[in-house]
Amino acid sequence: MLAKVKVLLEGFTSVDKHQPTVTLVVDGDMVIVVDPGVMESQQSLIDALKEEGLAVHDVNIVCITHSHLDHYRNIGMFPKAKTLEYFGLWDKNTSNDWPEHFTRNIQILRTPGHDYTSITLLVTTENGVVAICGDVFWKKNFPRSAHDDVYASNPEKLEESREVILKKADWVIPGHGPMYENNPDAVIFDDASIKIEEPKIIMNCKKCGREMKQKDKCRCRPFLCFRCCECALDCNRCACSHRVF
């Protein structure tokens, strides 16, 4: 029997507000919510689950596509569920490695670039393979180029991840938009359809004085820019210039 995929809440992104697309995957006994994210009211997610005949306690796995807060803030809504993310499958305070072929119908791929912790679920359904990819794509093939993703930690890796997904998937569920069909022959982008403003300057680096946007901050020492980062070279949190991905 094949898995079922349903978008519970359609995501969006604007200059000052973000909400990820929240997706339901049902595969046998597994009931998975992907990217419970942020929303004005958690009740909207509870209501969306109810429409599918489910309640919060029925969810036994919560999957996080990558470690950006807008995608995982509401993970606490599911206290009985295991957590599937880049570093492992967590059961309470215990983590175990996940297999790439998670089930017969679910394959997990590491898809770095937007963030080094990014993973994608490839789910086989009766309508084809669905890629739930977080912000590998924000919306339908947007940003147009991986180098246009202002939050990308490694645009070259992101480009590679995009190519992998587009070779394997019949459908794509992006990080902040509706599911769409992967049709290479379709017109996929309208320059006037989506406008994302450049991130604002938020502060100056306390060491070198450079102006910093959100993406320029060292994750471990947010008062420093990534150029002045003082983290150890084996730091697993920071996306600074010395980090090897």
CATH of the domain at 119: 3.60.15.10
Tokens found for residue 70: 């807008």
Q: Say if residue 194's pLDDT is above 70.
A: no
Other C-beta atoms lying within 10 Å of the C-beta of residue 236: 12
Residue by residue, DSSP assigns 190-219 as: -TTT---PPPPP-EE-TTT--EE-GGGB-S
What is the amino acid identity at position 129? Answer: V
> How many domains does the chain contain in total?
2
Predicted pLDDT at 229 = 76
Predicted pLDDT at 235 = 59
Reported as a pLDDT band with limits 50, 70 and 90, residue 208 is: confident
- HSE, side-chain direction, 13 A CA sphere, residue 15: 5
Residue by residue, DSSP assigns 5-66 as: EEEEE--EE-SS-EEPPEEEEEETTEEEEE-----S-THHHHHHHHHTT--GGG--EEE-SS
pLDDT in tens, 63-120: 999 999 999 999 999 999 999 999 999 999 999 999 999 999 999 999 999 999 999 9
Q: Could you give the CA distance from residue 5 to residue 136 in angstroms, rounded to a whole number?
A: 19
Residues 149, 206 within the same domain: no
Considering the entire predicted model, what is its pTM?
0.76
Element (H, E) at 162: helix 155-168
Residues 73, 170 within the same domain: yes
Q: Say if residue 3's pLDDT is above 80.
A: yes
Reported as a pLDDT band with limits 50, 70 and 90, residue 195 is: very low
Average model confidence (pLDDT) for the chain?
87
Predicted pLDDT at 240 = 59
Residues 159, 118 within the same domain: yes
> Average pLDDT for residues 225-234, to the nearest whole number?
68
Range of the structural domain that residue 9 is part of: 4-181
